[in-house]
């Protein structure tokens, strides 16, 4: 199923993310976690591509197994920063032959050694390539607080417009912890004539230190309320998890109540976290 069809419906959506393992020996464990999340029948699941240290070679096989075993639509991520046109085309052929219909088209982070592709500079070029290949519903990433490399949020939004013009039909946000930031951002997108569905990316904090580090790297602002929770419960994993799930649940309820219809949870290969969040929203997501 193409996600554009799902987003066109009235019903709110709730989706989860998994990332492929860093090493081959972890494949079965990650595959099982992905299937345990799929068993919850979310509206769709995304499978990252080489993000957070994961490898890219398992993206298609994990997505395929989710679709075949539980009939849950998947969104396969694809990056281009280190890829040639040939590699991208190979991956597109694999996705097509496995029946995966949705791609989140990304540039990817610039590698530390600076070795980048000469074929692609920006995600918009990858989107053009996928449109040319044909047959996929394409999404892109967006940054309510601006992409770190961008000189301003306004300039970043101009560049988001280029992705939409290239053929991106929805945008998933980077994590944020203050919903007002998203509401302001959507107003700004609308003022620039960008009206594609926005999927709000929500990160439940289960490991406070890890999240604080990645927020520092991505420039995500942490509200005082969040910092207090992280400082109080950061050293108590069970309490942190409970507080993190509660924080994410509250954030999501406010999003739905404010008319944001699509929420994507960065569930970090944790079926129990996905299950608890879904249970907390069971009546709300009936629409
Ligand atoms: P782009 O849209 O190309 O933007 C990158 C920078 O270039 C921005 O600053 C933008 O303003 C600027 N820019 C864009 N177009 C132009 C232009 N024409 N002229 C001048 N400047 C321009 N990484 C992974 O490795 N694997 C994943 O699976 C993954 N999944 C992600 C999912 C989501 C929802 C998000 C938000 C991020 C994800 N990332 C992933 C991280 C992402 O790859 C990085 O944030 C990366 O640095 C930017 O990717 P992009 O697709 O947004 O790039």
Element (H, E) at 162: helix 153-166
Share of the chain above pLDDT 70, in %: 99
Closest Cα to atom 22, ligand 1: which residue? 159
- The reply to whether 101 belongs to the active site is no
CA distances in angstroms from 21 to 52, 202, 266, 273, listed in the order given = 10, 21, 15, 18
In the predicted model, is pLDDT for residue 213 greater than 90?
no
CA nearest ligand 1 atom 15, residue: 159
User: What local confidence, expressed as pLDDT, does residue 52 receive?
Assistant: 67
Residue 169 token pair: 């039909």
Residue 78 three-state SS: strand
Mean pLDDT score of the chain, rounded to an integer?
96
Provide the token pair at 106: 């990304």
Q: How far is the C-alpha of 220 from the C-alpha of 213, rounded, in Å? A: 10
How close is the Cα of 108 to the center of ligand 1, in Å? 6
261 lines ligand 1 (CB under 6 A): no
Q: Report pLDDT digits (tens) over 232-241.
A: 999 999 999 9
Positive or negative torsion for Cα 239, 242, 246, 248: positive
pTM (2 decimals)? 0.97
Among candidate residues 180, 260, 255, 266, the one with its CA nearest the CA of residue 225: 180
**How many Å apart are CA 251 and CA 90, to the nearest integer?**
39
């Amino acid at each position: 199923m193409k996600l554009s069809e799902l987003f066109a419906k009235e019903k709110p959506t709730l989706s989860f993310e998994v990332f492929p393992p860093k090493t081959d020996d972890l494949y079965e464990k990650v595959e099982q976690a992905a299937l345990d999340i799929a068993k919850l029948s979310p509206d769709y699941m995304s499978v990252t591509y080489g993000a957070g240290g994961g490898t890219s070679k398992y993206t298609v096989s994990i997505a395929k197994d989710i679709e075949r075993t539980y009939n849950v639509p998947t969104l396969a991520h694809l990056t281009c920063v280190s890829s040639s046109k040939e590699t991208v085309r190979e991956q597109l052929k694999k996705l097509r032959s496995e029946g995966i219909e949705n791609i989140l088209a990304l540039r990817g982070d610039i590698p530390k050694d600076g070795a980048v592709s000469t074929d692609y500079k920006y995600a918009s070029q990858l989107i053009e390539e996928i449109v040319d290949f044909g047959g996929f519903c394409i999404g892109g990433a967006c940054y309510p607080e601006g992409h770190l490399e961008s000189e301003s949020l306004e300039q970043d939004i101009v560049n988001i417009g280029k992705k939409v013009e290239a053929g991106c039909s929805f945008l998933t946000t980077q994590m944020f912890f203050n919903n007002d930031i998203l509401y302001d951002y959507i107003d700004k997108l609308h003022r620039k004539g960008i009206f594609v569905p926005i999927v709000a990316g929500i990160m439940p904090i289960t490991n406070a230190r890890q999240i604080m580090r990645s927020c520092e790297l991505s420039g995500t602002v942490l509200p005082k309320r969040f910092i207090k929770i992280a400082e109080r419960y950061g050293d108590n994993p069970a309490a942190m998890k409970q507080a993190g799930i509660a924080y994410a649940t509250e954030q999501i309820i406010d999003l739905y109540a404010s008319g944001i219809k699509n929420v994507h949870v960065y569930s970090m290969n944790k079926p129990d976290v996905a299950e608890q969040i879904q249970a907390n929203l069971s009546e709300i997501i009936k629409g």
